[in-house]
Structures are given as structure tokens and as C-alpha cells.
Amino acid sequence: MGPVLCAMTVGMHLVTLYVWLVVRVLQTVEVHSGYDFPWSLNNWVPLWGGAEFHDWHHKTFTGNYSSTFTLWDWVFGTSSAYLAAKHKKKADISKTIKTN
């Protein structure tokens, strides 16, 4: 009801509301699919969450609440465990490559 009430309050055109709702539903499906597609917005838009970022939320049930703008997770510190795990994984991969 939130988007509909907002659209009615600010006088948004009905077609604009429908386009916005379709875009948001498609984005939600993509983020919850578990796949990081090459055309995903997180590959094109800085600070966009994407499937990998939001999957951490479903794995741990804490942190990474955003499926869209990761800035707020960073501001409130809810993405710190994810970022630490991602950094550790990248370091482990670098260490493995150097030893081989």
C-alpha cells in the first residue's frame, strides 16, 4: 500500500506508478534469485546491492538488509560482517594464487 498511497498523495500518474511497481518487482525477483547475472544492476550502478550482497542476509539473517542501496547498510554498520568475509575470501584467493 505504501507506493500506492505515496502516488495518490503526490499526484503521480497511474502509468508512472505501474512502471515503478514493475521495475521494483523485477528487481526483487532478480535479487532473490541467487544468481549474479551479467546484466544485474549491481554490475552497472555503484552501491547497488544485488544477489550476492542480499544472499548474505538470507544466509545469516543479520545484516545486509538492503537489496538495493547498500549505502544505508554501510552507514548503520549492518554490512560489516559481510564486508569482512568478502575481504577474507579475496585475501585467501590471492594467497592461493601466489603459492601456485
pLDDT of residue 75: 92
C-alpha distances out from residue 67 to 41, 81, 97, Å: 11, 16, 32
Per the prediction, the chain carries an average pLDDT of: 84
Length of the chain as a residue count: 100
Q: Which string of b and e fits 47-65 if b means at least 16 CB within 10 Å?
A: ebbbbbbbbbbeeeeebbe
9: pLDDT strictly greater than 70:
yes
* pTM (whole model) above 0.75: no
The per-residue pLDDT for range 63-78, each reduced to its tens digit, is 888 777 888 898 999 9
Q: Which residues pair with 94 in a beta bridge?
A: none
pLDDT of residue 100: 64
The per-residue pLDDT for range 15-46, each reduced to its tens digit, is 888 888 898 888 888 888 888 888 888 888 88
More confident position, 11 or 84: 84
Taking each helix axis from N to C terminus, what angle separates 2-10 and 14-31, rounded to the nearest 10 degrees? Answer: 150
DSSP annotation of 42 reads G
